[in-house]
Structure 1
Amino acid sequence: MLKNRFNIAASLLAIILSVGFIGAPIGPNNGDPTGGRPTNGRPTDDGPNPKQTIALGDRREIFADRFLIREMKGARLVMHPPRDEGPVMHFDQPWESNAPAYITILKDGDTYRAYYRGGHQRANGKKEDNTCYAESRDGIHWEKPNLGLIEANGSKNNNIILEESPLTHNFTPFLDNNPSAPQNQRFKAIGGTNKTGLLPFASANGKDWKKMQEKAVINEGLLDSQNVAFWSESEQMYVCYFRTWTGGNDRGYRSVSRATSPDFLHWSKPVEMTFGDRPYEHIYTQQTSPYFRAPHIYVAIGSRFVPHRQIATLDQLNELKVDPGQHKGLSEPFLMTSRGGNVYDRTFMEAFIRPAMGLNHWSARTNYPSLNIVPVGDGEMSLYVNQDYAQPTGHLRRYSMRLDGFSSINAPYEGGAVKTKTLTFTGKALEINYSTSAIGEVRIALQDENGKDLPGFSLLDSEQLVGNEVARTVTWNGKTDLSAWAGKPVQLHIYLKDADLYSIRFK
C-alpha cells in the first residue's frame, strides 16, 4: 500500500514538473487565448486584480473566460461547438414569413415557448409583420397552437399573438425573474424600431400581451434587429442590449450598446459595449442572456455578419429562391460572454457553429441563432438556429450541448495544470462537471492564499477522478467536507490528463 502511494506521488510530481507549472509565470503561448494581450485596460486574466480575493460563494463558474484562472501550464481553454440535431420547426404557413427572424425560446416550468416574426399580405396589399407563437413539452417536438387571437387571410385559425408593425418586426419577450414583478407582468417584452423607439409590453401568460405605455422607453440606437432585455439577478436591475454603429472606419461596424433600468420603464442613456483589444466585426444580433445555471454570467451566442462575402452566384441564389434582398453577405453564430457592465469577453474568436455544407447555408443572414439556451433532458441543453433564411425551406434547427459545455479547461495526454486566483466560498463540498478518457484523470488540491497545500487536501490526497459526469463531488482520502475552510481565502490547484473541466461549484 505504501509502495503504491509512493509510486503515485512520484508519478504526479514528475508530470507536474514536466508541464513546467511550479513557479513559472504565464507566457503568451501557454493556454492563454488572448496571447497575453491586455483587454480593455484590465488585467489579461479577464477578472479582478490577481491580488484580490474573489467572493465566489456557492456560484457555479463555467470556463468561458479567464475570470478564475491565475495560471495554466500544458492546459488551455477550448470551445466546444454544439451538435446538430436537425430541424424541429418549419415556417410553412401562409401567415408566416419566408424570413422569420429574431426568434426567442423560453423555458417556463414544463413548457417551452417560441416567439418568432411572421408576416402576410393584407387585403389592402400592405405587408404586415406579426409575432407567432409555438409550444413544446420537451424542447424537441413543437406545435403551433390555434390561438384564435388575430385575423389573417380571413381567419383567426392561426398561432399569431400580435400584429402591429413595426412593433412586431422584432418583438422579444423574456420571463421576468424580478421578485418584485407583479403576477400579471410575469412576462415582459420590448418591440419596435427606430421609427417608434422601443415600447414595453407585459403579459401574465406569455400569449395575451398589452403595452405598458404608449411612449417609447428607448429611442437611441439602430433598433431594427433583435433588442434583448432581461432582469439581472447579479446587477439587480433590468438591462437591454441593442444594435448600434461603432468606430473602425468611416462607415463603422454594427455593434452593441446597453441601457439599464430599475423598473423597465425608465432607462439610462445607452453605453457602448467594449471588447478589449479584439478587432471590430459586424455583430448583427448579440443574443445576450443570463446562463440559467450561472445567471451572473451572460452568455451571448450572436450572429457575426460578413457583408463583403458572397460565395453563391446570382443564378445559384435564384435557384434556391432566396429573397433578392438577402443575396449579399454571410453570417454565422459566435460566442462571447459578459459579467455585467459594458464589457464583453471574446475569449474565442472562431465560429461557434460553422455554416453547414450546401449553398442554402451560405446565403446572407441565414444561421441566425435564436435567443436563449435552455435545458433539454438530463445533462443536456439546446440552442436553436434559424436556417435557410429568406428561402422557401426556412426552418428552426436544434443544436445540443452538455450542460455548461460551451467551453472547458482541456489538457492532453501529457497532462496540464491550472491554478485559480484566491477565492472564498460558502458550502461544504466541491462539485465539478468534467470528462476524461479511459486513461485520463482530474485531481484537485486545495491550497492556502500563498499556494501551499492545505493538510489532507493535496493532489496526492485527491481522489483520481475518472469518467464523464455533469456533477461529481470531489473527495480527498474519502472526505468531502470543506466547511472548515468556508469563508477563508483559498486557491485550487487542478491537474488534468486527457480531460476537460467544464465548471466548478462549491455547494
Structure 2
Amino acid sequence: MTTPIDIGGGRQLFIDHRFIDRSRGVRLRMNPPQQHAEPVLVPDRPWESNGIGAYNTVLLEADGRFRMWYDAGVKGGLPSEGARRLGYAESEDGRHWHKPSLGLIPFQGSTDNNLVAPLHERQSLQGATVFRDDAAPEAERYKLWTKFLPTKAEQEAGARAGLWGMHSTDGLHWNYYPNQPNPEGSCDTQNMVFWDERLHCYVGYTRVRATQHLDEAAEAEGRKRYRSVGRVTSADFRTWSDVEIVFEADPADLSMPVPEQADNNTANIDYYTSCAMKYEGAEDVYLMLPSAYYHWGEGQYPATMDVQLLTSRDGISWDRAGDREPFLRLGPDGSSTSGMIFANPWLLPMGDELWLYYAGTPRTHGALPAGSSEADFARRTGIFCASLRRDGFLSADAGSAGGELTTPLLTFTGDSLRLNCDGSAGGWLQVEVLDAQDQPVTGYTLSEADDLRGNGVDKQVTWQGRADLGDLSGRAIRLHFVMRSMKLFAFQFVGQAGIRPT
C-alpha cells in the first residue's frame, strides 16, 4: 500500500496537484486579488522628493497596529549618497496612514521626520525587508535586510556596499550587525528574509545579478545574461550558507514570442524581485510574487513589470501558477501603477481576507519619455493595497457540467472536516470518504453526504447531519469530492475545540 500523507490537523491548500490523485472535470485555477486603485501612501515630505520606491514592508502587530517601513527617495549629494532612506508610518486600519515625527535621523539639519535608517544622512539603503523575530533576544526582536551603500569616505576606509543586516528592539531604533556585508555576494532590489519554523532556521532570498546565461555559447560570448533568485539559510542570522539559485527565467520564458527583437546582451524577460515568503496559514506552503521584467526591444523596451505567482512546498522547487499570467496587473495607462509594480511583504490576515501591499510607479525601467521630468513621475508613485480570500491563491474548480477529485491516501487527526469553498448561487459539493482499498466507508458514503452550498472559508462537512468523523482519525483514507460550479481552496481536519461557526 502506498504510504499515506500524514496531514495531522493542518490546513491543506490546493496550490498544486499534491492533493489531487485523480480527477475529472476539475482544474487548478489562479485567483488574482482585487487591486484597490487608490494609494494608501504617497510622497509628501521633502525626504520623499524622488518618490516612494519599490522595496517596502508592512507588518500587523498583535496589538492591532499596522506598521510600514517604506523606501523614501531623494536626490543626494555625491552620486548615490543619501539617495534613499527608510521611512516609517503607522495605521489603525491599514488604509489611512500617519507618518510620525520620530526625532531619530537627521535630514538637512533636522530630525523632525519619520526616518529610521540609515543612521547617517549620507549613507543610503534600498528600502528594506523587516520582520519580527519573537524567538530572538529582545535587542534583536526586529531584523531587517537591505542593500546598503556606505558613504564614499566610509568606503575609502574599508566599508563595503552589499547586503547588510540591522536589528532593533522596537522597529524604530536600529543598529547595524557587525562584519557587514553578510552574507557576501551579489544582492539587489528587495532581499527577503524570515524565520522558517518548519526548518528551524532563517531563510533568505537574494536577487542575484545578471549572471545567468541562456546557454553555454552565450556564456562564452558574454551575452544574453539575465537575473535570477538565490536562496540562503542560517541558524543564527550570522553565518549563512552558499547561495543556491532556485528561480530563473526558463526556456518557455526565454523563447516567448515578441513583436520585435533587439540585438543586445540581455534576455527578453527576467525577474527583478522575488517577494518570496512562507505562508503562515499552512505548514508547507511557500509563495513567491516576483516582478516580471519585460525588455525585448531597443533601450530595454517596453521596460515594464507586473507580478506573477509561484508556489512551493519547500521553498526550493517552485511551480508557476496561472499559466504565467499576472497575479497583480498594471493599472490603466497613465495611472500610478501603469509602468512597474512590486509586491511587498507581508501577507496580512484580516478576517476572511489577506491583504497584500504593493508599490507602483507610472514610469518604466527605461529612459524617461521626451519632455517628461523625473519629478513628475516621482510625485505619482505610491503604495497600494490588494485583497484576496484567505487561502485563495489557487483553487480546484469544477464548472457547470460538474466534476470530481480524489485525494491520495491521507491520515489525519481531528473529528471534523472543514472546507474553504465558494459555490456562489448554483454550486454544490459533497464529500465521500474512501478506505485504503478505495471502498466507500459506511456512514460517509456519497449517498449519505449532505450537499454543501454557499461561500465560506470555514464550512463544515456533514453526512446525514452528522459532522463527527473522529472514528477515522489515524486511519488511511481518501477524500472524494464531487461538485458542480464550485471553487475548492483548502480543507482541514479540526477537533471539536477548533470548530468555528460558519
TM-score, structure 2 length as denominator?
Answer: 0.82
Secondary structure, aligned partner of 2:327: coil
* Cα distance in 1 for residues equivalent to 2:480 and 2:13: 16
| Residue in 1 that maps onto 2:116 | 161
| Pairing of 1:200-239 with structure 2 (within 5 A) | 200-221=165-186, 223-239=187-203
Structure 2's unaligned 5+ residue stretches are 150-159, 219-223, 255-268, 364-376, 495-502
| Residue in 1 that maps onto 2:16 | 65
Q: Structure 1 residues 136 and 309, CA, compared in 2 at 3 Å: closer, same or farther?
A: farther
| Residue in 2 that maps onto 1:338 | 312
Which residue of the other structure, out of 120, 124, 128, is the alignment partner of 2:74? 120
Q: CA deviation at 1:127?
A: 4.0
- Supply the AA of the counterpart residue of 2:61: D
CA contact (8 A) 1:199 1:213 kept: no
| Mapped pair 1:198 → 2:198 | no
* Cα distance in 1 for residues equivalent to 2:247 and 2:329: 25
| Pairing of 1:55-134 with structure 2 (within 5 A) | 55-85=6-36, 86-96=38-48, 97-109=50-62, 110-121=64-75, 126-134=81-89
Q: CA deviation at 1:274?
A: 4.7
| Residue in 2 that maps onto 1:246 | 212
Q: Structure 1 residues 278 and 495, CA, compared in 2 at 3 Å: closer, same or farther?
A: farther
| Mapped pair 1:381 → 2:354 | yes
Q: Structure 1 residues 428 and 492, CA, compared in 2 at 3 Å: closer, same or farther?
A: same
Secondary structure, aligned partner of 2:47: coil
Q: Structure 1 residues 484 and 161, CA, compared in 2 at 3 Å: closer, same or farther?
A: same
CA contact (8 A) 2:54 2:360 kept: no
Q: CA deviation at 1:113?
A: 1.3
CA contact (8 A) 1:98 1:389 kept: no
CA contact (8 A) 2:192 2:276 kept: yes
- Supply the AA of the counterpart residue of 1:401: L
Q: CA deviation at 1:328?
A: 5.2
* Cα distance in 2 for residues equivalent to 1:193 and 1:340: 29
* Cα distance in 2 for residues equivalent to 1:309 and 1:139: 39
Q: CA deviation at 1:414?
A: 0.9
| Residue in 2 that maps onto 1:269 | 242
TM-score, structure 1 length as denominator?
Answer: 0.81
- Supply the AA of the counterpart residue of 1:352: F
Q: Structure 1 residues 120 and 493, CA, compared in 2 at 3 Å: closer, same or farther?
A: same
- Supply the AA of the counterpart residue of 1:134: A
| Mapped pair 1:258 → 2:265 | no
* Cα distance in 1 for residues equivalent to 2:362 and 2:52: 5
* Cα distance in 1 for residues equivalent to 2:125 and 2:429: 50
Secondary structure, aligned partner of 1:460: helix
| Residue in 1 that maps onto 2:262 | none
* Cα distance in 1 for residues equivalent to 2:332 and 2:77: 40
Q: CA deviation at 1:174?
A: 1.0
List per-residue Cα deviations over 1:147-179 (Å, max 9, x = no partner). Answer: 1111113321211000257662132211225x3
Q: CA deviation at 1:302?
A: 1.9
* Cα distance in 2 for residues equivalent to 1:362 and 1:101: 11
- Supply the AA of the counterpart residue of 1:345: D
Structure 1's unaligned 5+ residue stretches are 1-49, 311-324
* Cα distance in 2 for residues equivalent to 1:340 and 1:282: 23
| Residue in 2 that maps onto 1:320 | none
| Pairing of 1:425-504 with structure 2 (within 5 A) | 425-504=412-491
List per-residue Cα deviations over 1:323-349 (Å, max 9, x = no partner). Answer: xx9985010011111222521121321
List per-residue Cα deviations over 1:400-436 (Å, max 9, x = no partner). Answer: 1111111211111110101111111111211111111
CA contact (8 A) 1:120 1:152 kept: no
CA contact (8 A) 1:120 1:127 kept: yes
List per-residue Cα deviations over 1:101-150 (Å, max 9, x = no partner). Answer: 21111112111111121133457785432111111122222111111111
* Cα distance in 2 for residues equivalent to 1:327 and 1:383: 28
* Cα distance in 2 for residues equivalent to 1:265 and 1:74: 50
CA RMSD of aligned residues (A): 2.4
CA contact (8 A) 2:273 2:291 kept: yes
| Mapped pair 1:143 → 2:98 | yes
| Pairing of 1:310-459 with structure 2 (within 5 A) | 329-348=303-322, 349-360=324-335, 364=339, 366-376=340-350, 378-388=351-361, 391=377, 392-459=379-446
